[in-house]
Amino acid sequence: MRRECIRVDLSATQLYCCKYVANEIKSVAIMDTIDALKTLNAVVEHGSFSAAARRMRVNRSVVSRGIEALEVDLGIRLLNRTTRSLSLTEAGRTYYEGAKKLLADVDALKSSVVETENRLKGTLRISAPIHFGEWQLWPIVQEFLRRHQNVNIRLELSNQHVDVVGGGFDLVIRSAPFLDDSTFVARRISTNTFSPCAAPSYCARNECPKSPDDLSRHSCVVSLQHAGKKNWRFKSLDGSLISVPIEPRLSVNAGSPQIRAIKEGLGIGLLPDYVVSEAETSGELVRLLPDYTHESYPIYVIYPHRDLMPLRTRNFLNALVKGQK
């Protein structure tokens, strides 16, 4: 007999489609097998096709065809059937015991990754700016950990740009006039407003500035993130913009030392309103230039995707949004 070979040239797209269909078929086959195991388990536990069908909320014929298909696939009889009784064959007993264990393992695996509202678990990875993290975020983190004992949080405070996906972050909080990357979900949660301030001791030694232009003659304490910015920009009550050159006397890369230096009278600082308000109430800082406002930036929480977000992440996001209102 002569055999003829037919050559078939497939494009890259066609090859991809073939592989995709093959993978889909495999996925369907796996799900069909699990469904078949569940059907067998229901029949054995409830003693009949009818009882199993009621439990599974399907027609009796669906159960019957499922068992028959499983037996054909295996090439063995699993159940002895009569009009009045139903029992496992020897091979059926072995297969049923293995199926029961496998289904238990599948359920355990699902429980290990699926959360419920009452039992959140897993690790949350969060990145936030230093000041915001220390003053605004930290109380929310503490309360969340107290409420959810099975959740761990990895909190990284940095004013530097971070890679959301590469860094494995669930949530990234950033304050910026605009966001460079639009591939992620970004939700505005607040506004970061800054105010110039100083310690009462500094104002006692130096005449406090009456206008933004006076700042250029004062010592300033700045964050290293802003150390390269030689100007502080203000808006007056009439809406005019004023840009003031400043010369930092001290530049630090962490929020707490910067705030401490300002409170100890080393110079004038530009701090978030939530920091200034608390220190002003305690008498540690004095707000300067009340007739001028410094430029403010929106605060965003950024996350990789909106769909299939773990419950721990969604619950923390809700707590974060609520805490900013």
**DSSP bridge pairs for 95:** none
Q: Which residues, at least 6 apart from 37, have a Cβ–Cβ distance to it below 8 Å? A: 99, 102, 103
pLDDT in tens, 250-278: 988 777 889 999 999 999 999 989 899 99
- Report the distance separating Cα 111 and Cα 139, nearest Å: 30
- Report the distance separating Cα 213 and Cα 23, nearest Å: 68
pLDDT for 8 beyond 70: no
Write down the pTM of the prediction: 0.66
- Report the distance separating Cα 51 and Cα 56, nearest Å: 9
Secondary structure E strands in the chain: 79-81, 86-88, 122-128, 151-157, 171-175, 185-192, 194-198, 220-223, 231-235, 241-245, 248-252, 268-272, 286-287, 293-294, 297-303
pLDDT in tens, 210-246: 999 999 899 999 887 655 567 888 988 888 899 999 8
Percent of the chain whose predicted confidence (pLDDT) is above 70: 87
pLDDT for the residue 195: 92
pLDDT in tens, 51-107: 888 988 889 888 888 888 888 888 999 999 887 788 899 998 999 998 888 888 887
Residue with tokens 């699990």: 34
- Cα angle 45, 47, 52; round to 5: 75
Q: Domains of the chain, with CATH numbers?
A: 12-113 (1.10.10.10), 124-192+298-323 (3.40.190.10), 194-295 (3.40.190.290)
